[in-house]
Structure 1
Amino acid sequence: MGTTVFERSRPPASVVQHALADSRHAVFWRDDLPDALAPDRPPLVGAHAADLVVVGGGYTGLWTALLAKERDPDARVVVVEAQRVGWAASGRNGGFCEASLTHGHENGMARWPDEMPLLERLGLENLDAIEAAEDRYGIDFQFERTGQLAPATEPHQVAWLREWHEEAVAGGEEGVVFLDETEVQASVASPTYLAGVWEQRTCGMLHPARLAAELARAAEERGVEIYERSHVRGLETRDRAGVSVVTSSGRVDAARAVLATNVFPSLLARNRLMTVPVYDYVLMTEPLTAEQLASIGWRDRQGIGDMANQFHYYRITKDDRILFGGYDAVYHYGRKVRPEYEDRPQTWRALASHFFTTFPQLEGLRFSHRWAGAIDTSTQFTAFFGTARDHRVAYAAGFTGLGVGSTRFAAEVMLDLLDRVENERTTLTMVRKRPLPFPPEPAAAIGINATRWSLDRADHNEGRRNLLLRTLDALGLGFDS
């Protein structure tokens, strides 16, 4: 087995230790949120009536509530959140808002090749709508349509990039630019870069916590009621009268419900095995000085995600910090989501080491924040959809790390499904058919950890996938990133 650049060009341990020494175990995005955008909303108390009740105050639930009020301004819409608005993945992610609804072109082509032109058009329209939302609703989540850069950091990845670019050109795709070694390093000055593809139209950067907070504000301005610290304990079906969402201190009786709980256990038994929580880890630097910024270039402010199976993603914030995350994706036995899983010193050290391999000229820079969160992963690597209780309940989950953009699309799909509308969204195979579930334990842990080990081995073997990965690919269960 070979080595990767992150093993060949490790920084001194003292550099890593110095960079992490004063970091806080806290989510930067929430610390950066103005008090005015984080009001302390009351819990649900007593009985309430609604036309639509939404369980979950993240992107999926908030987009659903807001779009439901746009469709019917007179509808009574209630959102019930177990913690705070944007507390989970919606407030912890890297802020990459991608057009892809299929976790990338390759994953989509492997699963729904005939529908990919439609899926890609719908994805771009969805991204355009998110970009337009700031003006439409009078909100600010610091959206920048920067595109995304995919750099090759190993020689074998250069051929992958050339093939990607050639296919894009042959397919008439606009805004896909190939950069050779000189060009990519002129764009972003990392000695690890051997080439790159810059997709200029299909991704934007945003402030994750501000997006959740501003969606909540826009929804409340239109009459949506949001209750925080209200853990839902049950979903009851009432004869001909809809459903009831029950908490420890109250209930909402509604004609219809949307379940937007994502990584957390579903209120529907049928969905308990459809996702697994995989922990992702992130570092945030202190703001860079003008000299440090000049040393790395990055004037186009693209999001960056490298080509490895165990990939890194990174971006620049509005105040010139660098977020650096990814690489480790950790599953814990039993599908558990627990606070103690969020602090993993060995992962922080690995990420910090990889950061200074990528940008050795930033030696001496410190990390201000470190945090983690759980991603709701599905076997098709993208969201699945459905209804229950005689079309009174709709759900979407399994976004697998690309929910910043696709949750808005999911909200449209769920509202369409509740209305029994047949259109180009609801007739998609991705919407009509459920993916395979994950197996119960111990098979889930054995399979997931074996897959993760195999992906790491592929990264050390010029991308060659072993028998396990090839078998999963053939079954439509292969993970390519």
Structure 2
Amino acid sequence: MVERALGAARSGVYWLEEAGAQPRYPTLSASTKSELTVVGGGYLGLWAAVHAKRRDPGLRVVLLEAETVGWAASGRNGGFCEASLTHGRENGQTRWPDEYDTLHKLGDQNLDAFEQDVSDLGLGCHWERTGTLAVAVEEHQVPWLQGAEHALDRDAVQSEIHSPLFLSGALDPTGCALLHPARLARELARVAAELGVEIHEHSAVVDIRTDKASNTVDVRTGSATVSSDKVILATNVFRSLLRRNRLMTVPVYDYVLVTEPLTQEQLASVGWSGRQGLTDLANQFHYSRLTRDNRILYGGYDAVYHPGRKVKDAYEDRPETFERLASHFFAVFPQLEDVRFSHRWAGAIDTCTQFTAFYGLTHRGRVAHAAGFTGLGVGATRFAANVLLDLLSGEPTPLTELKMVRERPLPFPPEPITSIGISLTRWALDRADHRQGHRNLFLRTLDAAGLGFDS
């Protein structure tokens, strides 16, 4: 069944293909000046550019992208736009107990403002405020959902989505929206350009340094330099231009399958009339959703780190992971045994030890950076862009005073310790998932040190 379902699946990102041809922006070919230079053409960089121009329409903003707008994580994620800024309630309450209520409120406000921007800016990104459904798929997970505001017993969860594996659930009706990742990136670029941002693709930045003679921060590509008053670094999973940040994140590969469009009969056999985002409660969890044309996107479980913090195209094709995902898909939805997959792909997630973005300033307060979103960056990057602009203003604001913004997480150790540690953690998490959730001494030690990890 798995072999047949994967037989015609092509290696390619469904979102990028569905969005079609995109506008191209010129390569930076001559040196220039800017008041703000943004490095990175993913969500964080694009939101920063848009926010900056909306705050000050006369500001000269240059955005430099190494490849094309939205080609990396911003164009190939699952399209879940969650309110959480802290990678979930438990992570936030553990790390920032005194300000979690504030962070939770800020997350809700950010998601509402995101939705307003979709309307005000005309962002054609297939926005759906559907919420999410979390499901228990093992008996030991059922108590974890008891007491949730919108808890669902077995019958109730089966009425939402039909699967023999779903034992109970909890519905969050407002805390998440679904969207089309690649279309969002392209629409943000369109809006940025209309606001006057100068976007340059295929303009990889190789160095950033202070020019004391001109009192500027020079951002250099292979062929030109932008002399900048201020800079935002939004390179996320890729090797940081700042030496101090090179041990702060590791690239972890996530894998995704997308089916062909379901027929009306197939869709009826699953239910899913609420079109919620779907996730299970395992450490090595799966996430799933419907696209606008009723394909099922199914991803997660394997979170693969390759030694040396490398990001390579070759890591994106991993047959054993796609076969595992397909087998899990048919366990969840056995009624779809005739469904075929049309696309398979992967992407690298910038993971840090606190599992949510960290922030900072360098070059005497003229260069701001953020990274480490750990897979929940679709909504959080909009918030982070405002944080970075506030930091560059030099004036304290409610955002810059947050402990989450002011403190740096622990770095990952150098190799080979990182590879050994991640391998041991994945092994221990797998054992926990198959031993009633029991976390062994190794995992409990990581938890106590603030280094707990899930997929």
Instruction: Specify the alignment match of 1:378 in structure 2.
Output: 352
Residues 205-229 of structure 1, C-alpha deviations (whole Å, 9 max, x = no match): 0000011000000010000011101
1:222 matches 2:195: yes
Q: Percent identity?
A: 61
Q: Is the 8 A contact 2:289 2:297 kept in 1?
A: yes
Instruction: Specify the alignment match of 1:441 in structure 2.
Output: 415
Residues 366-425 of structure 1, C-alpha deviations (whole Å, 9 max, x = no match): 100000000000000110000000011000000000000000011000000000231221
1:368 matches 2:345: no
- Which of 377, 383, 389 matches 1:403? 377
- Which of 277, 294, 304 matches 1:320? 294
Deviation at 1:480, TM superposition (A): 4.3
1:464 matches 2:446: no
Cα distance in 2 for partners of 1:81, 1:55 equals 6
What residue identity is the alignment partner of 1:161?
L
1:177 matches 2:150: yes
Q: Classify the secondary structure of the residue corresponding to 2:133.
A: strand
Q: Spell out the pairing of 1:260-271 with structure 2 (5 A cutoff).
A: 260-271=234-245
Cα distance in 1 for partners of 2:402, 2:211 equals 31
Instruction: Specify the alignment match of 1:8 in structure 2.
Output: none
1:93 matches 2:67: no
Instruction: Specify the alignment match of 2:14 in structure 1.
Output: 28
Deviation at 1:251, TM superposition (A): 1.5
Q: Spell out the pairing of 1:117-196 with structure 2 (5 A cutoff).
A: 117-163=101-147, 165=148, 176-196=149-169
Instruction: Specify the alignment match of 1:113 in structure 2.
Output: 97
Q: Is the 8 A contact 1:45 1:251 kept in 2?
A: no
Q: Classify the secondary structure of the residue corresponding to 1:32.
A: helix
Q: Classify the secondary structure of the residue corresponding to 1:376.
A: strand
Instruction: Specify the alignment match of 1:285 in structure 2.
Output: 259
Cα distance in 2 for partners of 1:371, 1:271 equals 28
Deviation at 1:241, TM superposition (A): 2.1
Cα distance in 1 for partners of 2:272, 2:413 equals 43
Cα distance in 1 for partners of 2:151, 2:253 equals 32
Instruction: Specify the alignment match of 1:426 in structure 2.
Output: 400
- Which of 25, 40, 64 matches 2:24? 40
Residues 266-300 of structure 1, C-alpha deviations (whole Å, 9 max, x = no match): 10000000000000000011100000110000000
Q: How many residues align?
A: 454
Instruction: Specify the alignment match of 2:87 in structure 1.
Output: 103
- Which of 325, 339, 352 matches 1:351? 325
Instruction: Specify the alignment match of 1:11 in structure 2.
Output: none
Cα distance in 2 for partners of 1:298, 1:261 equals 36
Instruction: Specify the alignment match of 2:33 in structure 1.
Output: 49
Cα distance in 2 for partners of 1:18, 1:408 equals 41
What residue identity is the alignment partner of 2:161?
V
Cα distance in 1 for partners of 2:377, 2:119 equals 22
Cα distance in 2 for partners of 1:361, 1:421 equals 58
Q: Is the 8 A contact 1:379 1:435 kept in 2?
A: yes
Deviation at 1:41, TM superposition (A): 1.4
What residue identity is the alignment partner of 1:443?
I
- Which of 218, 224, 227 matches 1:250? 224
Deviation at 1:242, TM superposition (A): 2.3
Residues 142-184 of structure 1, C-alpha deviations (whole Å, 9 max, x = no match): 1111111000000010001114x1xxxxxxxxxx411100010
What residue identity is the alignment partner of 1:16?
V
Closer, same or farther: CA 325–356 of 1 in aligned 2, 3 Å: same
What residue identity is the alignment partner of 2:223?
S
Cα distance in 2 for partners of 1:40, 1:203 equals 31
Cα distance in 2 for partners of 1:289, 1:299 equals 14
What residue identity is the alignment partner of 1:268?
L
Cα distance in 2 for partners of 1:160, 1:82 equals 44
Cα distance in 2 for partners of 1:480, 1:347 equals 17
Residues 47-92 of structure 1, C-alpha deviations (whole Å, 9 max, x = no match): 1111000000000000000000011100000110001100110001
Q: Spell out the pairing of 1:447-458 with structure 2 (5 A cutoff).
A: 447-458=421-432
Cα distance in 1 for partners of 2:451, 2:123 equals 39
- Greater alpha carbon shift after TM alignment, 248-257 vs 392-401: 248-257
Deviation at 1:132, TM superposition (A): 1.1
What residue identity is the alignment partner of 1:132?
Q
What residue identity is the alignment partner of 1:317?
T
Q: Classify the secondary structure of the residue corresponding to 2:299.
A: strand
- Which of 59, 67, 78 matches 1:75? 59
Cα distance in 2 for partners of 1:403, 1:253 equals 29
Instruction: Specify the alignment match of 2:387 in structure 1.
Output: 413
Deviation at 1:105, TM superposition (A): 0.2
Cα distance in 2 for partners of 1:56, 1:177 equals 39
* Structure 2 unmatched runs, 5+: none
- Which of 188, 198, 212 matches 2:185? 212
Q: Is the 8 A contact 1:52 1:257 kept in 2?
A: yes
Q: Classify the secondary structure of the residue corresponding to 1:74.
A: coil
Q: Is the 8 A contact 2:428 2:439 kept in 1?
A: yes
Cα distance in 1 for partners of 2:156, 2:190 equals 43
Cα distance in 1 for partners of 2:239, 2:273 equals 42
Q: Is the 8 A contact 2:284 2:454 kept in 1?
A: no
Cα distance in 2 for partners of 1:452, 1:424 equals 37
RMSD: 0.8
TM-score, length-scaled by structure 2: 0.99
Q: Classify the secondary structure of the residue corresponding to 1:423.
A: coil
Cα distance in 2 for partners of 1:293, 1:421 equals 53
TM-score, length-scaled by structure 1: 0.93
Q: Classify the secondary structure of the residue corresponding to 2:209.
A: strand
